[in-house]
Amino acid sequence: MGVLVGKKAPEIALKAVVKDKIIDRFTLSSLEGKYVVLFFYPLDFTFVCPTELHAFQAKLKEFEARNTQLVACSVDSHFSHLAWLNTPHNKGGIEGVEYPILSDINKEASRAYNVLKEDEGIAYRGLFLIDREGVVRHQVVNDLPLGRSVDEALRMVDALTFFEQNGEVCPANWKKGEKAMQPTAAGLETYFSS
């Protein structure tokens, strides 16, 4: 697995499904000017995956309020995505999910983001926070059985935004509204002394 933090996010140009519409060419570059949380998941119609997609949907308004676009991606076809979107929540479906779901059927994006589990042909649970200029600022990759924290993704958007606006760095477990610090020895001393 390669580290993409600090590098330009690999471009994506894939078919996508948004609600009940198919987009023939969804590009990551079309989102420049927004923060992007791009997350990969293994497969449609599985077990941990719908819990994650619903958890992101439940916080969609919070991401939007932070000028952040959610984008999901798996190796399934856009037809599979549509079928899953038309499957009720209580039947394991993702009915009601409104953000784009990309079809990486040729595994181009999964390879570019270094999350492809080659022996199974599916993606690990990779999550990438991309800034408004298209640079990856945070990444985390979970193994297949380990669901991710949507609240942590929101926290990272808040931390990046705070840093960009204030120039202060965010210490461990920092949350929006808490004290940060100047990135200097004096700033560290001030932080620990209060």
What are the residue numbers of the active site? 49
Q: Is 177 left (phi over 0), alpha (psi -120 to 50) or beta?
A: left
H or E element, residue 117:
strand 116-117
Cα gap 35→180, rounded to integer Å: 21
Q: Which two tokens stand for residue 135?
A: 């640079």
Q: Which of 146, 125, 138, 141 is nearest to 36 (CA)?
A: 138
Residue 90 is classified by DSSP as: G
Q: Helix crossing, 150-166 with 48-58: angle to 10°?
A: 40
Cβ(161)–Cβ(63) below 8 Å: no
Give 107's Cβ-side CA count (13 Å radius): 14
Cβ(81)–Cβ(14) below 8 Å: no
Q: Which amino acid is at 147?
A: G
The strand pair at 35-40 and 68-74 is best described as parallel
